Amino acid sequence: MKQFPLGTIDITPAALERLEAAKSHVDSLLARHQAGDWGDVDAFTQRMNERSSTHAEPVSSVYELPNSSQIRIITSPDRSLTRVLLAEEVEQREVSAVEGYDAMAPTYDLGTNPLIVVEEPHVE
């Protein structure tokens, strides 16, 4: 079952090379991503993806290939673009509290603010 549109598919050359080397097909990974099978992500990312798939927030999946390569699939918040890349191609950078606040500030007043979701108590 498709949960959200993927938009344009962009595959990095390195990801395509590893997929071919592992004899894996990107279509099957995209179908899993789109259906809500997020692959090898932690519980927090799974919860965020479940929420993000129905709101205007990015959705991210990670899949391990038979050759031990990890493929990451990221769909943009507006669903216009889905990128397929190697996990090591994802840029990670530390930011100061001021830079982090600046980056998140536009979402603070939205009902879909991911920080609010994380801070809400969970009662069963």
In angstroms, the CA 63 to CA 72 distance is 7
32-41, 67-76, 100-109: least confident range: 100-109
Check if the beta carbon of residue 19 is closer than 8 Å to that of residue 92: no
pLDDT of residue 12: 96
Token pair for residue 123?
Answer: 């009662």
Q: Where are the domains of the chain?
A: 8-92
Confidence of residue 114 (pLDDT cuts 50, 70, 90): low
Check if the beta carbon of residue 60 is closer than 8 Å to that of residue 85: no
Place of tokens 């919860």: 47
Residue 104 backbone phi and psi in degrees, to 5: -95, -15
pLDDT in tens, 41-84: 999 899 889 888 888 888 999 999 999 999 999 999 889 999 99
- How many residues comprise the chain? 124
**What sign does the dihedral 53-3-43-27 (CA atoms) show?**
negative
In angstroms, the CA 101 to CA 49 distance is 22
Which residues share a beta bridge with 15? none
Residue 26 backbone phi and psi in degrees, to 5: -65, -30
| Statement: residue 99 has pLDDT above 80 | yes
Chain-centroid distance of CA 21 in Å reads 23
pLDDT of residue 101: 75
More reliable by pLDDT, 109 or 29: 29
pTM here?
A: 0.76
